[in-house]
Amino acid sequence: MAVGLSDHAVQLYDVAKHKLVSTFAGHTARVGSLSWNGPLLTSGGRDARIIHHDTRDPSQRLATLNGHTLEVCGLKWSPTGTMLASGGNDNLLNIWDSRYKQAGSGRRTCDTPLHRIDAHTAAVKALAWCPWQQSLLASGGGTADRCIRFWNTRTGACLDTVDTHSQVCALQWSQHDREIVSSHGFSHNQLILWKYPSMVKAAELTGHTSRVLHMAQSPDGTTVVTAAADETLRFWRIFSGAPRLSAAEKALAFESHLPLSPREALASARAIR
């Protein structure tokens, strides 16, 4: 388990042994976002940096991505392990291709994302890659934006925009159905289940009394756990456990979302050097 700290460090724990395994340096301000890609751990900080760490060698900083001007508050690797989405308090959404390399660059830094998107009008914390369409990304904006936007990450084109009328804090796709759930802050602190692509509301769930900051999904894809600023965790049985995607869709999802091997993940991170 990885933990980002306010003292600029990232710590890695063995959860079975309740033991600190290693500590990663590199940031100069608090670390508020993390995303895994095999043995590659990517962190985002208030220093506007994104850093790739090799969890097998804490002394090895693989690369630094400089595409934001304010805190990086959202990070999400695609299921294929080839694209990274980052959102910031600068209202930017950046899409990074791990296979992309600047021409003539021999540095361990990259300043040019594949796509730099400035459509949101507030911080972009909520990010979710579609589990059955590899190039589809959903992003959500803060209080001044309130929108969920859907992107074709191959082209950078916006496919749809939905005004939720509330701060969007987190997003989760269903593993089995064409549905997506969003969690919100001001002004209702609720969860909304949407049908995709119609974006018709299927359900609205309340219970938290403050911003619903984070969501995670159970391995079977039926339960969503939420963590809110009211200091509570809540478990919601939201999604169906029986797959409803067609056989062709399931085959496509399996073939296109095979994760990178540990060696491939690290090689892709080194490619931006």
End-to-end CA distance of the chain: 27
Write phi, then psi, for 255 (nearest 5 degrees): -70, -40
Alpha carbon distance 232, 207 (integer Å): 10
**Largest CA-CA distance found in the chain, in angstroms, rounded:** 53
Considering the domain architecture, whether residues 72 and 2 belong to the same structural domain is answered as yes
Kindly list the distances between the CA atom of residue 164 and the CA atoms of 47, 76, 239, in Å, as whole numbers in the listed order: 30, 22, 20
Q: Has residue 194 been placed in a domain?
A: yes
Identify which has the larger pLDDT, 74 or 99. Answer: 74
Considering the domain architecture, whether residues 70 and 179 belong to the same structural domain is answered as no
Give yes or no for a contact between 155 and 128, defined as CB atoms under 8 angstroms apart: no
Q: Has residue 270 been placed in a domain?
A: no
Q: Has residue 252 been placed in a domain?
A: yes
Considering the domain architecture, whether residues 239 and 164 belong to the same structural domain is answered as yes
Give yes or no for a contact between 36 and 77, defined as CB atoms under 8 angstroms apart: yes
Considering the domain architecture, whether residues 248 and 186 belong to the same structural domain is answered as yes
Considering the domain architecture, whether residues 146 and 72 belong to the same structural domain is answered as no
Mean pLDDT of 135-153: 98
- Tell me how many domains the chain contains: 2
Considering the domain architecture, whether residues 157 and 224 belong to the same structural domain is answered as yes
As a whole number, the mean pLDDT across the chain is: 89
With bands split at pLDDT 50, 70 and 90, how would you rate the model's confidence at 106?
Answer: very low
Considering the domain architecture, whether residues 96 and 57 belong to the same structural domain is answered as yes
Domain ends where: 122, 146, 164? 122
Q: Has residue 272 been placed in a domain?
A: no
Considering the domain architecture, whether residues 166 and 235 belong to the same structural domain is answered as yes
Considering the domain architecture, whether residues 201 and 224 belong to the same structural domain is answered as yes
Q: Does residue 263 have a pLDDT over 90?
A: no
Considering the domain architecture, whether residues 107 and 182 belong to the same structural domain is answered as no
* Type of residue numbered 212: V
pLDDT in tens, 4-44: 999 999 999 999 999 999 999 999 999 999 999 999 999 99
Domain ends where: 122, 140, 168? 122
Q: What's residue 255's pLDDT?
A: 40
Q: What's residue 58's pLDDT?
A: 82
pTM of the shown model: 0.86
Q: Which domain holds residue 45?
A: 1-122
CATH number at residue 78: 2.130.10.10
Alpha carbon distance 268, 250 (integer Å): 26
Q: Has residue 264 been placed in a domain?
A: no
> In this predicted structure, which of 114-123, 144-153, 173-182, 258-267 has the lowest mean pLDDT?
258-267
Considering the domain architecture, whether residues 9 and 106 belong to the same structural domain is answered as yes
Considering the domain architecture, whether residues 173 and 223 belong to the same structural domain is answered as yes
With bands split at pLDDT 50, 70 and 90, how would you rate the model's confidence at 100?
Answer: low
